[in-house]
Every structure is written in structure tokens, then in C-alpha cells.
Amino acid sequence: MDHVRLIMLLLILALLTPTYPSIHMAKAQVVKYDWTGLSMKNGTRYNLPGGFQMECTIEKQGGFPTGVATRILKNGEVCLNYQFTLIEGDNTRSKIPVKEGCTSGRVLYKVLIKGDLTDINNGIIYFDIVDSILPPTTNLAMNINFPRTKEFDEPYAQFQVPVIIKNLGPWDVKWVKVYSNWFRLDGEGSISLSSIIPVEGVKRGDNDVNITLNGLHANESQQVTFNFHAGPGEGKYGNYTAAFVVTYPVTFKYDRTESRGSGVNQYQAMIYEYDPNATKSLNGSINVVFGLRYKGHTGRPRVVLSISRPTGDLEVNPGTPITFDFRVQNIGNDDAYNVTINAKVDPNLPIDITKPSSIAGHTFPIVVHSDMPPRAMTDEIAFRIIVPSDAEGMTYHANISVGYFNIRSEYNRTFRLFTISVKKFGTSKLYVTKSISSTTIPVNGTIDVNVIVGNNGTAAATNVVVEDSYPSDIFKLVSGKTKVSTSKLNPGSMIPLSYKLKAVREGVANFGPAKVTYIDPKEGQRVVLSAQKSPVVITIVRPELSVRVEDIPQNVTVVNSLAGFSIYMINRGSGDAKDLTLDMELSPGFYMVSPPTIKKGEGVSCDQPVWEPKENEIRVKMVCDTVKPEGFVKLILTLKTQTTGKQWIKVKDIYYKSPDGLTTLEVPTSSYRYEAVVVTPLELRMFYLAIFTFSVLIVAMFVIGVTRGFRVSIGRKRPRTRFGALES
């Protein structure tokens, strides 16, 4: 009976069950792949996908390439013997099928030999793999074993993020690179990487890391574990992210997809181009959120005092009333709570609150009863203090402060401190300093005189006049003034006086102190002199070089004979002669027997003279750094005549500088030129014989004239006067 009831129940359920129309499943779209841009060397073996190999050889006929012979092998077994593809003409491209079972089974792909693109010169054969059921690239998957978004209630947390990388096939990959970076999206705090597993192949930066893994075989997995530490801190909000990128090589890059065939034979062809540098990347990220309930509440109110007066520290007279006006404002980005305003004066003085009217007459501290949101400001608050009349010289400190709490019950305080100095009637105290740039200068040299007057007192000096003087018979004013004045010189201030003088003659000058007159507020008119025990003595000097030539060659001399030349220079002036330079020239007929030498006195510093033979002259130069007064130097040349004819010695230049090095003085040298005639010994004897003969003739003529009555007259010939007698 029970089983009958069961059958009836099943029939009723069958009748009540609704019927649905049948749905025909659409046939999945067939996808095939083209591997394009491949090449191989002539006569080599190329590894095809699926464990197959391909051999290609460029065939020649009559010495000329005609085509490409191709065969397919697997494990050394020939699957398809040589197929011939022409290089030129018709049928230059052929598709060679590769079957799963070598010689039977389904076609895995076809090899398209591009005979027309064959590089005959370099022996390179180009081909594609087309209509392949095997994809050219492998696929990796990245699984981040961590919630996409995770919230934490703690102020800080340490958490692990395992990243699993799996090779879905069908090919192995040589390497895998994992890149991660992390940063704060919003709120406060920071995120950092504590450690990473594995530790090999890791290159870390401040906010990123690069990991290089070994290759992955097909269907192999590897895990990288990141240990992060993040958090904004107690009572704060922070939102952080970590991103992960997996990159691996694929050898081929995707180009496009084409529809091929028609009807039931239609399929999609995904075309890839060979690129040994091509890569693929996978991306993923996580989010961690801390203190979400604090979002929008940064806990950073900033309450400040906006004081309109006074604007700074004060200096007042005794008995002066002082008013303080200010407002309190929240310039932060969160609410401030329990804002309390206070004011104190040290030493203590009574404080009278005058504004606003709601608190006038009250005493500090004052509490703002309502919370103070961002940008809120109180009414103007004013209070007054009075400096006692007997507080001369005292100092008071007025302190206005504001204390408040943030949303996390953290206490903050800001304040402004004013120093109130009560004036004390003081005195002015002037000092004078005078300096002169040098105590020894040459004629036409200059000195700088500087006078500085300062006030070291506690009160200003008035009607200040600064005066100075100089010996006008020795110096001339070049620039500046010797008198300056000012109506007021405050404590700590200075007034300068400076001028430049030029020495017009030699001598000794005395400079006295500078003079300052002024009026002191307590003592009246006063006079101050620059501090110096005695007058400053300035000496004006002038170097003066005297020159004489002591040795010169004879007017007539024999070739190959010795000849001497010396020149003596002495400083007859009162100052040092600086950088004395002597420059001479000699005719090339002279020969320098030995290097030039010098003799010098005390206070003379000279370099070794130098000489330089040239084609038309011999140059001699001597330089002395310093020649002090009465110091001398003598240049000595030991020469030898080496050619006949007229020879010469010329002093070209003699010059020196004043002691300060600013003025160059020259010695005229036009008269210092000397000549000598150099002859052979025979010529000298003949010269002397001629002179002797000429002398004898003159004497003989004189004797004859005397004895025979000849008259020798000197001067203009006059006519004779005859007086009747005959003259023979």
C-alpha cells in the first residue's frame, strides 16, 4: 500500500513539474595559431614544437641555387622526406604538414617554407609555422592568497601575502621576474616590507622590490611570500596598497587575429610574430585599511593666536597703559575640544578684561564652551595692563596661551610671549677710533684715513660733529671729507668718516687725534678725542738711483783680446727702490768669457743676471727685488773680441718702482752707448806706423819752414801790403 502511495506521489510531481524547451549548445569556435618571422641557417637542424626537427638545405643546379629541400624528423626518424621549394619562379612557397604520429595522426601544424625570401648570400632560410593547434607562447597564472581588501582594528599589523605563480603550459619558461611596490593611498602612517621569501635574486628599493626566479616547467608552481608591516598608529586612519607584477619571456608577441575558412570549417587564426625579447605580464594588488572609523577625523586641529596689537616686544615709559587685542582661531583640519584661554604677567600685574562684553570684568582663564571646528574663530578678546610709575628699568613678560584637546584626547598648547621693557633715563657714551692705512709711503703715494664714532651708552647723543685734520704742506686731499655731522646718534649706532690723502713731497708728517663734539642728555656738551698716546708719524720717502759706468772697452783694440765692462748703481734716495731692472744689448762681435757677475751692498736683493745670444745682438738682463737707501749693485761683464770691425755696447733700459710698487721710475740711458774698433795685429801696427810717419812729416815741414823762412799761418788768409821792397 505504501509503495502505491509512493508511485502516485511521483506521478503527481511529474505532472506538476514544468517543461522547458531544449537548448542546442553552440559549437566552440576553433582557434589556431601562426608562428611568423622564423629563420634558420642553411644545412642546420631546427627544433620544431612537439619534439620534431626540421632540416633545410639550399639546393644548387649548375652552380646556381634553385630551391630549398626540407625534411621533418622526430627522434631521428624521418617523418616526411625531402620536399623541394623553388627560390624563383612559380610555387616559391610550400606548406609542409607535421603530424602528431610522425607519419600519421592529426596535423599539428604546417611549416611554410618561404623560398622567395631565401637569403642566398648569407645562407638563411625563412619560414613560418601556420595553422598550429599549439600556441607559440606559454601562459602563467598568478594567485594572490590574500583578501583583495582587508580591514584591521589594530593601530599596526604584520601580515603575509603569499603570491603563487603557476606555469599553465604548454611550454617551459626560462625565467620569471616578480615586481612589487607599496604605498599609502590615504590617511596617515606607512607600509613597509619586513622580509621576503625566497631571499635569493632579490633587489630591494625604498618602496619596491624586484625578484628574479629560476625558470618554470609546464604545470610547475612557485610561491613568493611577502611580509608587510603597516599602520597609522593609535586612533588614526590609514589606507595602503601593495601591487604585484609577474613578467616572463614568451619569444613571440601577438600581432592580430584573422577569420579563415567558411561554414563549419571556419576558424580564428591568432597571428604571432617572432620576437626574442617579447615578454608578458600579470598584475594584481591588495588593499589594507586601518582605523576606518577615524576616516575624516585626522585628529590634527591647530588653534592659534591672531594678535592685532601689540605687534611685538615693547619699550615703554613708566606708568604707560598697554592694551592687548587678539582672536583665537582653529586653522587645522579637525575639531578642537575644551579650548581654554589664559593670560599672565610676570612680575604679576593686574589684568583687566575689556572685550567681549560677555566676559568683560572676568578673570583668566576663559573656557570656550562649544567645540571649535576647523576655520572657527572667537570674537575679539581684549585686556589691559598698566605699568607702574616706579618701574623704571624693569622688564615684564606677558604670556598669552591657548590649550585644547583633539578627538583622541591629546592635549596641545600654543602661546605668545611679549617682553615689556620699561625705559630708564641713561647717558650717551661715545667712543672714537682712528686708523691710517700706512706709516711709510712714497712721494705721490696715498693713504686712507678712517674714523669711526660709536655710541656705547644708554641714551642718544645729539648734535654730533666729527672733525679731523692733516698736514696740508705735505699731503693733498684726494677724496672724502674731513668733517661730518649728524643730528642724533642712537645707542649701538655708528657714524663713519673716511678720506684719502696723496703725498706731494718727501718729509715726515704728524697726525693728531680726531675730535668729536656732541650733547649728552644728562651732562650737556662733551668733547671726545680718538684714543692715541702720541701723534702718528707718517714718513714720505723717494728712491733715487744714481748710475755710472766704470769700465768700458778701448776705442781701438785687437781681435781676440779681453775687454771689460761694468756699470755701478746706488740708491741715493730715502726709500726702497723696488724691482730694479737693467736691460743691455751687445754686438755679436763680443764673446761672453764667463757669465755676468754682480757685486752688491747690504739691503740689496738681486737675481742672477742672465744673458741670451741672438743673431744680431747679445741680450743681458739683471733684476733686483729691493735696493734699500745707500744700497748699491755693480754688474760686471768679462768680454772677448772675436770679429773685426766696429763693435758696440748699449744700455737699453734702467727702471725701478716706488716702495709701494705703484709708480715706475726710469733712468735716461741715451748716453750709455759705447763703441770700439776691433782690428788685426798687423792693422794695428800699420795704424801706429802711419801715425808715426805723419808725425815725422809734420815735424820736418815745421823745421824746414823755420830755417828757410816759410811762414805758417793759421786762420783766414789776408792780402799782403807792399812798401817798395821786393819779396821773394
Q: Which tens digits make up the pLDDT trace of 100-144?
A: 888 889 999 999 998 888 888 888 999 999 999 999 988 999 999
Please name the CATH architecture into which domain 140-247+280-294 falls: Sandwich (2.60)
- For 401-416, how does the pLDDT look when each residue is reduced to its tens digit (9 = 90+)? 999 998 878 899 999 9
DSSP string for 342-379: EEEEES----EEEESTTTTT--S-EEE-S-B-TT-BPP
pLDDT of 709 reads: 61
* Class at the top of the CATH hierarchy for domain 303-422: mainly beta
Q: Is the dihedral of CA 327, 331, 337, 342 positive or negative?
A: negative
At 192, which helix (H) or strand (E)?
strand 190-197
Does residue 534 or residue 393 have the better pLDDT? Answer: 393
- For 151-192, how does the pLDDT look when each residue is reduced to its tens digit (9 = 90+)? 998 999 999 999 999 999 888 999 999 999 999 999 899 999
- For 211-265, how does the pLDDT look when each residue is reduced to its tens digit (9 = 90+)? 999 889 989 999 999 999 999 988 788 999 999 999 999 889 999 999 988 888 8
Q: Is the pLDDT of residue 728 over 80?
A: no
Question: Which of 9-18, 233-242, 535-544, 562-571 is predicted with the least confidence, judged by mean pLDDT?
Answer: 9-18
Residue ranges covered by each domain of the chain: 31-132, 140-247+280-294, 303-422, 430-436+445-539, 545-679, 685-713
Q: Is the pLDDT of residue 446 over 70?
A: yes
Residue 527 amino acid letter: V
- For 299-325, how does the pLDDT look when each residue is reduced to its tens digit (9 = 90+)? 789 999 999 999 999 998 888 999 999
Question: Which of 106-115, 175-184, 688-697, 706-715 is predicted with the least confidence, judged by mean pLDDT?
Answer: 706-715
| Matching residue, cell 741680450 | 619
User: CA-CA distance, 531 to 454, in Å (whole number)?
Assistant: 13
Q: Is the pLDDT of residue 522 over 80?
A: no
pLDDT band at 711 (very low <50, low <70, confident <90, very high): low
Q: Is the pLDDT of residue 660 over 50?
A: yes
| Matching residue, cell 593686574 | 350
Q: Which fold has domain 545-679?
A: Immunoglobulin-like (2.60.40)
Please name the CATH architecture into which domain 430-436+445-539 falls: Sandwich (2.60)
User: CA-CA distance, 587 to 647, in Å (whole number)?
Assistant: 6
At 13, which helix (H) or strand (E)?
helix 2-16
Half-sphere exposure of 184 (CA within 13 A, CB side): 14
pLDDT of 131 reads: 92
Segment 18-31 mean pLDDT? 51
Segment 705-721 mean pLDDT? 56
pLDDT of 710 reads: 53
| Distances 306 to 340, 377, 382 between C-alpha atoms, Å | 15, 10, 12
Segment 260-284 mean pLDDT? 91
- Give me the chain's average pLDDT, please: 86
Beta bridge partners of 249: 279
φ, ψ dihedrals at 139, nearest 5°: -125, 130
